[in-house]
Amino acid sequence: MINLPLPNQIPSPTDADQTATVNGIQIGTLDALLADLHSEHENLLKLAELQRDAIIRADTKDLSQVVKQTAETLGRIASIEQSRQQIIKLPDGTIPTVDQITAQLRDQNQGQLADTLTHRSRSLRKLMHRVNQEHKAVRDASLQLSNHMNGLIKQVSAKLSHTGTYGRRGAVDPSHTQVISSLDTVQ
């Protein structure tokens, strides 16, 4: 199994900041959830890189393991995101952005805490962009491998067709429909 412990490099709010609230939103809890999202996205990035490498090496064992761990990581991300949305949901049902929350923190003279949340949020956005780019590379590598395998299958099919009926596309080729065969009817 591939282990993915990655350190969190963004500072956490101080203990005094853990009690800060904006519209009933516990800022310390929000910060911790953003830190968890960041950590899980770092894992997702590493897994995407491992998946691309497994595809390049055509290593089905590693690929299977990476896909399983990716699904687990995505499940954890979904759970954390659901928790994040629940804690920041306002009584009227709206969900404020981190920028809106940090603006209110600044109004409450909590600039340092607002800076920490802003930094964490921006870092998470950049990381998510990198994850998307890596997944695009994985998708492209998968597509290229699939196209290569389809080409090989079609070439093998064409060579194995003794009548020449099947063309390079792996389908019946109308230009070669004449089948030459014989049947011995002598007893």
Element (H, E) at 17: none
**pLDDT of 175 over the 70 cut:** no
> Whole-model pTM above 0.75?
no
Residue 120, pLDDT score: 94
- Rg of the chain over all Cα atoms, to the nearest angstrom: 28
**Which has more confidence, 148 or 15?**
148
Residue 41, pLDDT score: 97
Residue 150, pLDDT score: 86
**pLDDT of 6 over the 80 cut:** no
Q: Where are the chain's structural domains?
A: 15-176
| DSSP sequence for 124-174 | HHHHHHHHHHHHHHHHHHHHHHHHHHHHHHHHHHHHH-TTS-B-TTSSB-G
With H, G, I as helix, E, B as strand and everything else as coil, classify residue 22.
strand
Cβ atoms of 42 and 85 closer than 8 Å? no
Query: H helices then E strands: how many in the chain?
Result: 4, 2
Residue 18, pLDDT score: 59
